[in-house]
């Protein structure tokens, strides 16, 4: 897409929408524009409204929530999440998800009484839930602000152009994906919370993709030369249950291709139970057994102790039938986000639109091919082949075909920031136990191993132990653009440290900070760069964040894995 630069010629203010007859473009004006309604975007909008700003939030897909909803990825979190290590509003989101199940679902008495209720009893997270329940929780959190008129949500709409004046973003054009209508939104501050940093090329903001070189970053795991097209796999997730009857889908058009697909390091065909172990890279064979009859209340999800992917059925299970009164559900529901659906053939952004569409369709075909293989050819423990009873749950995905409505992007464009987090700032092997870098401008915390999936340049997993880390304010601020902030995984990380800063609670924390910073800059008539360059202003921002329940430092004695 081409950057459309120029001076915004819309109305100076007043009213929510007018029509520019000359351009045939609807015009809107707001104080803060948040583009992208993933977890970072939702958190940014909530925070900005809470701090007195008027906000427009746009989102490409029908559901707000990004990786937790439209992409259907259960919460990826560190093992201390129930006690500390996230913002108060992220904890509120988790509480609302659990409360929804307690209010609306026939939980068993023992399950209902669990403070740490895990409806799916999945091993990947202490809170595995259906995407549409997370959507409901998000909608509840936003509802009063939408009713007050301080928050206006536009969806489904995606950014297609931007207007800039020097180093300032003046406006952003978004296209209604149903009608093709264009809305030009002018704002004092703009926060990019899109999944792949879509505003960066549109606004001419400097950014990075793929691997940086070791010469640039000094990272132990970086290659000698930069590899901008070498990005992590994208995945199209889906949910399945196991039910009586034959639910085999139509043979996917690309099934023959994906059935034979392999790489030198994979050790088997992609459509199989075999894949490299992320940490050792040894070829491991997973187990698959639908509805194994385990006790869901005995599941202890702790990735630091047990990856939990021995049985892929329970790994990302999002509904455990035995968590509910007998007869309520005939089957568990599990979420398929496994190595076998990682599309790492080629990048899907910063390419021509028709190429991106073709590659995203290939990713969809890979996911459908994996399902078809499981239904027809997958080896079963009893010696048979295939589970024809595996059935897609499109109602849980909010789609007609049963695949998630949005692809899961682990990585996108990242701003050239005032501060870039590098591997040596967080890696346990470099920093030592309990030794992640501390930042004077810390605006939050997070923790996950550096977990990089196979990538489009032919790299295998990169998995590096990390220490509990901080989020520096400088990572959210571009080096040049004066009123644009990064609000999700597009902050100043490298390809490598993106692998631990991209998870759900960290993305929410980033978005929340961006919303607070933008609202305070609007109130004070200042700019993010000015705040960052003034220790007193940074301290005031940190005080406001702490008052909102944003944790800025880890407790003493917490170490990584």
Judged by DSSP in three states, 232 sits in strand
Percent of the chain with pLDDT over 90: 93
Specify the pairing of strand 168-176 against strand 182-192: antiparallel
| CATH numbers and ranges of domains, the chain | 18-74+130-211+411-547 (3.50.50.60), 234-290+331-409 (no CATH)
pLDDT, one tens digit per residue, over 14-52 is 334 444 444 578 999 999 999 999 999 999 999 999 999
Percent of the chain with pLDDT over 70: 96
pLDDT, one tens digit per residue, over 231-250 is 999 999 999 999 999 999 99
Eight-state DSSP code of residue 262: -
Helix H or strand E encompassing 148: helix 131-148
pLDDT, one tens digit per residue, over 444-473 is 999 999 999 999 999 999 999 999 999 999
Q: Is 525 left (phi over 0), alpha (psi -120 to 50) or beta?
A: left
pLDDT of residue 21: 45
Residue 457 phi, psi (nearest 5): -90, 5
- Which residues 6+ apart lie within 8 Å of 42 measured at CB? 57, 64, 65, 66, 138, 141, 142, 508, 511
Whether the per-residue pLDDT at 5 is higher than 70: the answer is no
Residue 336's nearest CA partner among 366, 306, 312 is 312
Q: Are 408 and 250 in contact (CB under 8 A)?
A: no
Taking the CB of residue 159, how many other CB atoms lie within 10 A of it? 23
Q: Are 488 and 195 in contact (CB under 8 A)?
A: yes
pLDDT of residue 2: 31
- For the chain, the straight-line distance linking the first and the last C-alpha, in angstroms and rounded, comes to 41
pLDDT of residue 19: 43
Q: What does the chain come to in residues?
A: 561
Helix H or strand E encompassing 201: helix 199-203
Q: Are 285 and 277 in contact (CB under 8 A)?
A: no
pLDDT, one tens digit per residue, over 264-300 is 999 999 999 999 999 999 999 999 999 999 999 999 9
Query: Following CA atoms 46, 396, 271, 349 in sequence, which dihedral angle do they give, to the nearest 10 degrees?
Result: -40
Q: Are 510 and 46 in contact (CB under 8 A)?
A: no
Helix H or strand E encompassing 174: strand 168-176
Taking the CB of residue 437, how many other CB atoms lie within 10 A of it? 16
Between CA 335 and CA 272 the distance in angstroms is 17
Whether the per-residue pLDDT at 424 is higher than 90: the answer is yes
Mean confidence (pLDDT) of the chain: 95
Whether the per-residue pLDDT at 257 is higher than 80: the answer is yes
pLDDT of residue 13: 33
pTM of the model: 0.95
Residue 235's nearest CA partner among 342, 365, 334, 338 is 342
Between CA 296 and CA 55 the distance in angstroms is 41
Residue 96's nearest CA partner among 126, 65, 133 is 133
Whether the per-residue pLDDT at 4 is higher than 60: the answer is no
CB neighbour burial string for 523-546, b if at least 16 within 10 angstroms, e if fewer:
eeeebbbebbeeeebbeebbebbe
Judged by DSSP in three states, 276 sits in strand
Taking the CB of residue 224, how many other CB atoms lie within 10 A of it? 8
Specify the pairing of strand 55-58 against strand 151-154: parallel
Min mean pLDDT across 23-27, 87-91, 414-418, 428-432 is at 23-27
pLDDT of residue 48: 98
Q: 434 falls in which pLDDT band (50, 70, 90)?
A: confident
pLDDT of residue 435: 85
Specify the pairing of strand 55-58 against strand 25-35: parallel
pLDDT, one tens digit per residue, over 114-166 is 999 999 999 999 999 999 999 999 999 999 999 999 999 999 999 999 999 99
Specify the pairing of strand 182-192 against strand 25-35: parallel
- Which residues 6+ apart lie within 8 Å of 190 measured at CB? 32, 33, 35, 169, 172, 199, 203, 483, 484, 485
Between CA 505 and CA 502 the distance in angstroms is 9
Within 336-483, residue ranges assigned H as helices are 353-376, 394-397, 423-426, 428-431
* Percent helix, percent strand, percent coil in the chain, to nearest 5: 30, 20, 50
Eight-state DSSP code of residue 383: S
Residue 214 phi, psi (nearest 5): -65, -30
pLDDT of residue 115: 97
Taking the CB of residue 5, how many other CB atoms lie within 10 A of it? 16
Q: 433 falls in which pLDDT band (50, 70, 90)?
A: confident
Q: 307 falls in which pLDDT band (50, 70, 90)?
A: confident
pLDDT of residue 138: 98
**C-alpha torsion sign, points 59, 316, 231, 351:** negative
pLDDT, one tens digit per residue, over 468-501 is 999 999 999 999 999 999 999 999 999 999 999 9
pLDDT of residue 20: 47
Peptide bond into 156 cis (omega under 30): yes
């Amino acid at each position: 897409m081409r950057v459309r630069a120029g001076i915004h010629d819309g109305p100076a203010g007043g009213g929510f929408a007018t029509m520019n007859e000359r351009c045939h473009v609807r015009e809107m004006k707001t104080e803060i524009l948040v583009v992208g309604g993933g977890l970072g975007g939702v958190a940014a909008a909530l925070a900005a409204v809470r701090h007195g700003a008027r906000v427009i939030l746009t989102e490409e897909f029908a559901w707000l929530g990004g990786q937790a909803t439209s992409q259907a990825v259960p919460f990826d979190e560190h093992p201390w999440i129930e006690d500390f290590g996230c913002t108060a509003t992220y904890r509120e989101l988790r509480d609302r998800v659990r409360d929804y199940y307690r209010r609306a679902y026939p939980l068993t008495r023992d399950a209902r009484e669990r403070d740490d209720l895990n409806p799916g009893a999945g091993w990947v997270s202490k809170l595995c839930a259906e995407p549409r329940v997370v959507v409901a929780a998000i909608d509840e959190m936003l509802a009063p602000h939408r009713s007050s008129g301080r928050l206006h949500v536009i969806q489904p709409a995606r950014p297609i152009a931007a207007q800039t004046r020097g180093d300032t973003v003046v406006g952003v054009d978004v296209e209604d994906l149903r009608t093709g209508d264009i809305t030009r939104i002018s704002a004092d501050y703009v926060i990019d919370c899109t999944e792949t940093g879509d505003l960066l090329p549109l606004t001419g903001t400097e950014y990075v993709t793929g691997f940086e070189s070791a010469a640039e970053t000094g990272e132990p795991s970086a290659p000698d030369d930069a590899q901008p097209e070498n990005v992590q796999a994208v995945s199209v997730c889906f949910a399945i249950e196991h039910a009586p009857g034959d639910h085999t889908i139509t043979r996917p058009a690309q099934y023959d291709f994906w059935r034979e697909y392999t790489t030198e390091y994979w050790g088997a065909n992609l459509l199989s139970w075999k894949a490299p172990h992320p940490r050792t890279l040894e070829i491991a064979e997973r187990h698959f057994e639908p509805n194994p009859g385990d006790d869901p209340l005995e599941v202890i999800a702790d990735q630091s102790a047990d990856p939990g992917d021995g049985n892929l059925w329970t790994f990302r299970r999002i509904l455990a039938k035995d968590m509910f009164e007998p007869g309520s559900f005939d089957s568990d529901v599990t979420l398929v986000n496994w190595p076998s659906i990682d599309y790492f053939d080629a990048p899907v952004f910063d390419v021509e639109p028709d190429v991106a569409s073709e590659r995203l369709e290939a990713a969809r075909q890979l996911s459908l091919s994996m399902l078809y293989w499981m239904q027809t050819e997958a080896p079963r423990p009893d010696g048979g082949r295939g589970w024809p009873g595996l059935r897609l749950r499109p109602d849980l995905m909010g789609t007609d075909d049963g695949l998630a409505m949005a692809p899961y992007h682990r990585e996108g464009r990242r701003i050239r920031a005032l501060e870039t987090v590098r591997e040596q700032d967080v890696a346990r092997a470099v920093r030592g136990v309990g030794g992640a870098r501390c930042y004077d401008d810390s605006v939050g915390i997070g923790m996950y191993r550096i977990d990089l999936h196979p990538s489009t340049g032919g790299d295998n997993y990169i998995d590096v132990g990390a220490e509990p880390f901080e989020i520096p304010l400088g990572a959210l601020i571009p080096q040049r653009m004066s009123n644009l902030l990064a609000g999700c995984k597009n902050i100043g990380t490298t390809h490598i440290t993106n692998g631990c800063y991209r998870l759900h609670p960290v993305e929410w924390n980033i978005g929340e900070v961006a919303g607070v910073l933008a609202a305070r800059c609007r109130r004070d008539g200042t700019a993010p760069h000015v705040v960052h360059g003034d220790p007193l202003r940074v301290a005031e921002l940190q005080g406001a964040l702490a008052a909102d329940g944003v944790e800025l430092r880890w407790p003493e004695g917490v170490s990584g894995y």
